Amino acid sequence: VESADGQSVTHPDGAVQNLDGTTVHADGSIEHPNGDVQHKDGTWVFADGSVNYPDGRWKMVDGTITDAEGNVLGTVKPDAAP
């Protein structure tokens, strides 16, 4: 359903697609045109599979976990949360 101002389209699942290419999903997460997803808690999941957490930690695609300064904290299986 297109909005009255023509600026967005709401899909049956509750997602709202904006003219700038972003999609706001029913859970409040925002998907950007490049594939990056920003979750309501501040976590970013990038199109390459890396994850940036609100406290500054990163989980790289290879499973390496770093703190905000880039110090390696450990590794996990790439599909596991830190």
Q: Domain spans of the chain?
A: 1-40
pLDDT score for 57: 96
- What's the gap between Cα 68 and its chain centre? 18
Distance (Å, rounded) from C-alpha 51 to C-alpha 66? 11
Distance (Å, rounded) from C-alpha 19 to C-alpha 62? 34
Comparison of pLDDT for 41 and 3, the residue scoring more = 41
Give, rounded to a whole angstrom, the gap between the first and last alpha carbons of the chain.
39
Distance (Å, rounded) from C-alpha 29 to C-alpha 24? 6
21-71: pLDDT as tens digits: 999 999 999 999 999 999 999 999 999 999 999 999 999 999 999 999 999
The token pair at 54 is: 């609100």
Distance (Å, rounded) from C-alpha 32 to C-alpha 47? 9
